Amino acid sequence: MDGRPDNVEPPQPLAPRGMLVAIAFVAVLLSATVGFRQIDPTFRAAITVSDATVVSHGWADEQTCGACHEQAEDFWQTGHANTLIPASDPDSVRLLEFLQSSEIGTRESVQVQVLNDVVQARCTTEGVVNTAHLNWCFGSGSHARTWVSTLPDSFAASDLLEVRWTWYHSTDSFDLTPGHPQVKGHSAAGTMGLLFDSPRAWRCFACHSTRLPVIDGHISDAHIAPGVTCQRCHGPRQKHVASKGAWLGPAWVNGDRDEAVRHCAQCHRSPEETKPEEIQKDNVDIVRFQPVGLSQSACFKASQMRCTTCHNPHKPMDKQDSKGVWQCIQCHSPEHNDHVVCGADMSDNCLQCHMPAIKHDAPVSFTDHWIRVRDQSELLP
């Protein structure tokens, strides 16, 4: 990789104003590739464009993709498509209605008010009422949903307040957000959650959205394209649509295996971002980072396996038999006598022994992608 994220078009001759836009785009999208590494402050200074120009740069209306591509058929129900929604979306409001009556909501005196699309959380601590305008909801809900508030800092850049109360799918209730202290802080923000600086706020949005216009560090709510949708993976496609598919962009189809895995690892985390001493079979923290575990597996090392060997990024999990034996017997079956076969019955659920779901610190489980033979002590009862 040359450091340029693959959803940015190659450099083209541009008028000076356009050039500024291009620089801003590379900069904004780089923040996604760079992941959670520190952002150089000069980087932020490069972003000085008006939102209107940013928004008009090369992006197609994704409602048009479905006219020519069957990939769009079920896509809008995927976790990717729904991983960021406005807090005022009915799916978010429906859950928030249960926050104040939940155990944690009662204990921490939380109230939520929704008035004309404005969602406000109020929290009373020692007689003092603090309020926050919740504007975004992170997570599709297949695991969890967490709400945030973007607030201007003293440079008018967007900082982010991540609230302490997260909704979990597995328990259908609210509990503490992962990584938050058991005892709430005393500052106005601290009673409601944790405050992150603007580079960190961008990084959250960069991995959870398709287009992220940032003007002077300010994230423009009105112009975010939330969710990981077609053009986050396939690049801006206005020219593709205008030319009825004649102009092609990044397809991620027949490329090199390691390159393909790196595309997914931009957000799902790569082994290079993980300290070698942390890559241990008994470190449950790495189960969240599927590319890290998968790349340690004998299956991965001895084959051309990639993420799309088992996952179709265009279909929701429940429409692709995501726990199926089919995934394994693509290679491990008597028909493929170049691969070893397990002593267990071929119709058994291979995952329970070789790729189990592991409970993480919150009420969330992840599938351990480090495919291997485990001894009994490693497996859940």
Q: Is the dihedral of CA 167, 168, 172, 174 positive or negative?
A: negative
- Least separation in angstroms between residue 169's CB and ligand HEC is 9
- CA 381 to chain centroid, in Å, comes to 31
* DSSP letter, residue 185: -
Task: List the one residue out of 164, 161, 186, 160 whose CA is nearest residue 174.
Answer: 164
Which of 61, 5, 60, 69 is CA-nearest to residue 32?
Answer: 5
Q: Give the residue with the Cβ less far from ligand HEC, 20 or 85.
A: 85
**Between residues 80 and 211, which has the closer beta carbon with respect to ligand HEC?**
80
Least distance (Å) between residue 80 CB and ligand HEC? 5
Q: How far apart are CA 103 and CA 122, in angstroms?
A: 16
Kindly tell me which of 105 and 291 has the beta carbon lying closer to ligand HEC: 291
At closest approach, how far in Å is the CB of 144 from ligand HEC? 4
Question: What's the closest the beta carbon of residue 126 comes to ligand HEC, in angstroms?
Answer: 27
Does residue 374 come out as left (phi exceeding 0), alpha (psi in the -120 to 50 range) or beta?
Answer: beta
Question: What is the number of the residue whose Cβ is closest to ligand HEC?
Answer: 245
Using the minimum distance from each CB to ligand HEC, give the nearer residue, 116 or 347: 347
Q: Please, are residues 35 and 13 in contact by the beta-carbon 8 Å criterion?
A: no
Taking CA atoms, 312 is separated from 63, 315, 341, in Å, by 20, 6, 25
Question: Which residue number, 244 or 275, has a Cβ lying nearer to ligand HEC?
Answer: 244
Pairing of strands 357-359, 365-367: antiparallel
Dist. CA 270–CA 267, nearest whole Å: 8
By C-beta, is 124 or 321 nearer to ligand HEC? 321
**Helix %, strand %, coil % of the chain (to 5):** 35, 20, 50
- For ligand HEC, give the closer residue by CB, 69 or 186: 69
User: Least distance from C-beta 128 to ligand HEC, angstroms?
Assistant: 25
Q: How far is the CB of 261 from ligand HEC (least distance, A)?
A: 5
CA 4 to chain centre: 20
Q: Shortest gap between Cβ of 218 and ligand HEC (angstroms)?
A: 17
